[in-house]
Structure 1
Amino acid sequence: MKALDLFAGAGGWDIPAHALGWDADGVEIMPEARATRAAAGLKTVADDVRDVDPVPGEYDALIASPPCQTFSAAGSGTGRRALDAVLHGVRLFGQGGVRPTYAELAALTGDERTALVLEPLRVALASRPVFIAWEQVPPVLPVWEACAEVLCAAGYAVATGNLSAEQYGVPQTRKRAFLLARRDGQPAALPTPTHSRYYSRTPDRLDGEVLPWVSMAEALGWQSDLAVRSSVGDGGYNKPRDRPGHAPSPTVTSKSRSWVLRNGNQAKACERTTDQPAGTLFFGARLNAVEWHLRVTNDRPNTAHRPGTAPAPTLAFGKSRPEWDGAAGEKRPLAIEEALVLQTFPADFPLQGSRTKQFLQVGNAVPPGLGAAVLRQLR
């Protein structure tokens, strides 16, 4: 199976593709990500997606994760405001005849990055791969649905929808919009969840007939009977220890439960204890705000398990409910190795570039564990 991976990044799609025996060619413009790919033994055949024009039959599969900054809730929102223009661009592709150029689409949408979301459709219609897998943030789902109509008219069976990463064994509640298509005579379908959905208002609730979601503590190996396995031999992505589908998440002692991962610097930033999955990891401008914080209470032993090199906790008395002990300074940034594991990369994955660029590569990537579920569904 020969695959072309547009906007390939550090290799979130390519790690599971290689585990399935696929030969993947990546297209990536970020120098640090290209260096990471080289260090990890992943191929990069071009830097600019706009210059890629494969011929029919050159690739069996087309994978793509276009930039999401303008569509993401964490970004400027220009992509969301230009949604009608993007959908009009999709219709132009479906009309046949002379297809719109990238310059025309950029002018139509008002943003060059926003126009990139239509490049996978251009490449798909020109090269006619047998299999297609695209991923983006949830606000792009209407674009994927519009692309599905064009692909159906071109002879593809297509499925679209949002997938939640924790339902595929990723220790993170990351939701993304997917499009899967095929023209091998088989129906297209999204992968069936293997793990329970995480219910933030009722964390003890679990879906039946599937495994429980995976907690941060379990993935990070912060319990003596659990370990992170991330060797190439097991697929190259984190595989936490399986538990029976009816069993709750394994008990994490009050020591490790005292630590909370705070993801962002907004007033309502996502906060999760280590016996829960992480919220969606995002970096960039908020790099230094993804931190471990110690929550100290009077009903919990003050010998908390401290991740990494965090300082010893300070005693806090007289509190009737959990409070942040800000004065004690009990916090530290998320380590890059921890970010890799929570994104289901190998903990020793050879990221290149500055610390900021390394975190950006992790945050931008498809979790390899989720990518594996999608690619297995296509195969």
Structure 2
Amino acid sequence: MIPVVDIFAGPGGLNEGFSSVRDYSGNRVFNTVLSIEMETAAVKTLTLRAAHRILSGCANGQPEVYKKFLAKEITYQEMRVAPEVAEAFAHAEDEVRQFELSEESRPDSDRMIRHALQGQSDWVLIGGPPCQAYSLAGRSRRKHDETFKDDHKHFLYKEYLHIIEEFRPSIFVMENVKGMLSSKNGDGKIFELIEADLRAPGYDLHSMVVSSDTGALIPSAFIIKSEQFGIPQKRHRVIIVGLRRDAQLPAPKVLQPTAPVTVRDSISSLPRLRSGISRKPKATWDEWTAVRQQAHVCLRRLPRKELAEFPSGSHLQTVSVSRPSIESVDPTTAAGELQAWLQADAPPVTWNHEARGHMVEDLVRYYLLAALVTEDGVSPKVRSLPAAHWPKHGNINNVVVPFEDRFRVQVWNKPSSTVVSHIAKDGHYYIHPDPEQMRSLTVREAARLQTFPDNYIFLGNRTQQFTQVGNAVPPLLAAKIAERVAVILGAYA
């Protein structure tokens, strides 16, 4: 197998894509020998996933204690101390390292990488330096911050660059936000600095969407619009594939566009849940249905809606206790490919699928906004509602309201908007399209929009889980890139 080193790994989206690639005989092409990540919860998720790959490859199948964990019959802590999984977790903990990459820590990280590679020269480096300093949202929040230009996150790519210079991988795959194309430091553009630095050690840079045969690539050629390649999300990211010039490798074949895949294709088969109510973690069905009855009455007063009788919703729970419905899929279609990817070896229950609580006023807004989505799939803005349902902000009556787009329904018949880490803060921008459920998306629904398989379990508290999902690379997109990398290296996927 071809060694892979994953740095700034997050919860492992790129890693999952590379780890999923198989050759014609069904054998894994890539082997992740080292994952480096500094956030504790993401490290726990990475470690569990590394162990999962080992335990799922056992000749006699997964150990019974691990099956019980997947079925939620025992806790993670109970499973973790079982002798049957000890060897797998020992290997996983050797692979996954909690570590902060920096100029000062290079001697230690170099030792880790050298040990993991064991002298192998043909290997792949993957990862994306933290993007807060490049992101458009991050720059907006720190517009008047004099220290912003000196933020060390501008230059974390230099740790990526150091590893390239020191260990010279055959190929590297670097991911980041498209804001890096316009981000500046002093008088220079960040992307131009990065591009020159990546070429300097003897690498040619390639786009996965624009062929190198077209000549010199402009910066925007490195942007991948995920929704064009079978991902149910409008996620636009810069992905650079670097090939070591002296390895004389062929240029990668570009990704082939597919038909759009929608929110419905992604999450409609998940168990339906009802929302929670803030400050009432154990709210009864009667308390919840009273809120929804209030919202339903408000909706019936609006002139444009003809509504059926108020549905009972009594079957809905706040936490999933079942597995998704298994759909018959045509794997030759983009939607079928996605469902097959999500459902492969799914656990007997749905993980990370719990509705969070919201203020009653927000729940009513969610219900109304989801019910008012137009037939052509346009999500209404919050000021489309009667004024009684507007948020109580001082500038709500201004001509331009900066937060008017904070409330957004992710409509059924289109790809979702970009899943970002801010989803951990509130759910206003990620309202579920089914008004009956009257809630924001769960971690599992966000993970599906990111194309994490249902057997990919996120650890940590719910806020940490949302943050992990929002910071990840879509694994299915990563797998498509990895397949082309495998072809370059002669391992035909």
Verify same fold: TM over 0.5: yes
Aligned to 2:397: none
Is the aligned partner of 1:185 residue 2:322?
no
Query: Alignment partner of 1:275: what SS?
Result: coil
Aligned to 1:63: 126
Query: Alignment partner of 1:132: what SS?
Result: strand
The structure with the largest helix share of the pair is 2
Aligned equivalents of 1:36, 1:347: Cα separation in 2: 14
Is the aligned partner of 1:371 residue 2:464?
no
Aligned equivalents of 2:379, 2:460: Cα separation in 1: 25
8 Å CA contact retained: 1:162, 1:176: yes
Query: Alignment partner of 1:27: what SS?
Result: strand
Describe how 1:124-203 pairs up with structure 2 within 5 A.
Answer: 124-141=164-181, 143-160=190-207, 161-183=222-244, 184-189=247-252, 191-195=254-258
Q: Over residues 89-129 of structure 1, what are the superposed CA-to-partner deviations in whole Å (9 max), with x where a residue is unaligned?
A: xxxxxxxxxxxxxxxxxx99511222213221111111101
Aligned to 1:49: 101
8 Å CA contact retained: 1:215, 1:275: yes
Give the partner amino acid of 2:12: G
Higher Rg of the two aligned structures? 2
Query: How far 1:378 sits from its partner (Å)?
Result: 1.9
Q: Which of 336, 339, 349 in structure 1 is aligned with 2:456?
A: 349
8 Å CA contact retained: 1:71, 1:77: no
Query: How far 1:30 sits from its partner (Å)?
Result: 0.4
With normalisation by structure 1, the TM-score equals 0.66
Aligned to 1:319: none
Aligned to 2:417: 279
Query: Alignment partner of 1:135: what SS?
Result: strand
Aligned to 2:30: 22
8 Å CA contact retained: 1:272, 1:279: yes
Is the aligned partner of 1:13 residue 2:65?
no
8 Å CA contact retained: 1:3, 1:22: yes
Q: Over residues 201-252 of structure 1, what are the superposed CA-to-partner deviations in whole Å (9 max), with x where a residue is unaligned?
A: xxxxxxxxxxx11011012245976673325569xxxxxxxxxxxxxxxxxx
Aligned to 2:431: 292
Give the partner amino acid of 1:122: H
Aligned to 2:261: 214
Unaligned runs of 5+ in 2: 22-28, 52-94, 182-188, 208-221, 270-324, 330-335, 347-370, 383-401, 487-493
Q: How many residues align?
A: 288
Counterparts in 2 of 1:117 and 1:69: CA distance versus 1, 3 Å: same
The structure with the largest strand share of the pair is 1
Percent identity over paired residues: 26
Aligned equivalents of 1:125, 1:348: Cα separation in 2: 36
Aligned equivalents of 1:3, 1:79: Cα separation in 2: 35
Aligned equivalents of 1:261, 1:120: Cα separation in 2: 40
Aligned equivalents of 2:11, 2:200: Cα separation in 1: 33
Query: How far 1:62 sits from its partner (Å)?
Result: 0.8
Query: How far 1:162 sits from its partner (Å)?
Result: 0.5
Aligned equivalents of 2:450, 2:100: Cα separation in 1: 25
With normalisation by structure 2, the TM-score equals 0.52
Q: CA RMSD in A?
A: 3.5
Is the aligned partner of 1:267 residue 2:307?
no
8 Å CA contact retained: 2:410, 2:431: no
Query: How far 1:163 sits from its partner (Å)?
Result: 0.5
Counterparts in 2 of 1:5 and 1:192: CA distance versus 1, 3 Å: same
Counterparts in 2 of 1:181 and 1:79: CA distance versus 1, 3 Å: farther
Query: How far 1:70 sits from its partner (Å)?
Result: 2.1
Query: Alignment partner of 2:439: what SS?
Result: strand
Aligned to 2:333: none
Aligned equivalents of 2:17, 2:200: Cα separation in 1: 30
Is the aligned partner of 1:31 residue 2:40?
yes
Counterparts in 2 of 1:109 and 1:76: CA distance versus 1, 3 Å: closer
